[in-house]
Amino acid sequence: MWNWEYAIKILPEILKALKITISATFVAFVVALVVGLMLTLARRSNFKPLSLFAGGFVGFVRSTPLLVQLYFIFYVLPEYGLSLTPFVAGVIGLGLHYSTYLAEVYRGGIESIPPGQWEAAKALNFSTLNTWKKIILPQSIPPVIPVMGNYLITMFKETPILSAITLVEIMQTAKMLGSHSFRYLEAFTIVGVLFLVLSYSSSLMVRRLEVRLNLR
């Protein structure tokens, strides 16, 4: 059954791997934020092939498993001379997958802008770039920040999948510890509790942020 002595012995090693998990989460989140915005803008483009491509990409990525997408990036790209480290491949895969979710979040924010804002920008002779930069985006992003925060938490929870392409993050560390000692209970339970505590506490923070934003 549960062995406290062993659990305490492996805890530092698991905590050390948490650093990789957290840095992978944040780098992937930045990828998702940037690509997500590009996808949203591409979908709204007047240039038909571009908007069709963006729409098709979002639909395809959203209905296929992240694990398979990671395999694709990690095993197929080297065939064409592009070998990626597990970290880079993982961050790209996770980031691209969630960029399609964030694209919807941006879209929601942009569509909630009253048409009068667009008309005013036009009346004041703003260029397309300035309309987006100075009027539309500054108003559409703040209200959706809590939703983005929730996706950050979701991505954090999904990082264990990166262990499938041999990235040594917290889950992979737990697997290795388990296979050395043939005791998976402690390692996997510690990982589960860590994820639960971190993601639950951050979701409470997001909820607080949401209340603050609504008050304003």
Partner 1 sequence: MWFDILPSFWEGTKITIELTLFSAVIAFFLAFAAGFGRLSKFRAVRLLAATYVEVFRGTSLFVQLFWIYFALPLFGIMLPKMVAGVLALSLNAGAYGSEIVRSTLISVPKGQSEAAIALNMTPWQRTRLVILPQALVMMLPAFGNLIIELLKGTALVSLITLSDLTFVATVLNSSIMRPTEIFSVLLIIYFVISLPFTKGIQWIEHRLSAGRY
**Residues near partner 1 (CB under 8 A):** 1, 59-60, 62-69, 71-72, 75-76, 79, 157-158, 160-161, 164, 171, 175, 178, 183-185, 188-189, 191-192, 195-196, 199-200, 203
Quick one: 25 or 40, whose CB is closer to partner 1? 25
Distance in angstroms (rounded) separating the CA atoms of residues 204 and 216:
19
φ, ψ of residue 204 in degrees (nearest 5): -65, -40
Q: For residue 40, what are its two tokens?
A: 């949203």
Minimum CB distance to partner 1 smaller for 115 or for 129: 115
Query: Cβ 192 to partner 1, closest distance in Å?
Result: 5
Task: Sort 158 into a burial class: Cβ within 10 Å, 0-12 / 13-18 / 19+.
Answer: middle
Report in angstroms how near the CB of residue 60 gets to partner 1 at its nearest.
Answer: 6
- Our CB check for partner 1 shows the closer of 59 and 142 to be 59
Q: Measured from the CB atom, is 121 or 165 closer to partner 1?
A: 165
Please, are residues 140 and 113 in contact by the beta-carbon 8 Å criterion? Answer: yes
CB of 189 to partner 1, least distance (A): 6
Q: How far apart are CA 191 and CA 14, in angstroms?
A: 8
* Shorter beta-carbon distance to partner 1: residue 33 or 174: 174
Q: Which amino acid is at 110?
A: I
Contact 44, 195 (CB under 8 A): no
> 138, exposed or middle or buried, with CB in 10 Å at 0-12, 13-18, 19+?
exposed
Smallest separation (angstroms) from partner 1 to the CB of 169: 11
Q: How many CB atoms lie within 10 A of CB 187?
A: 26
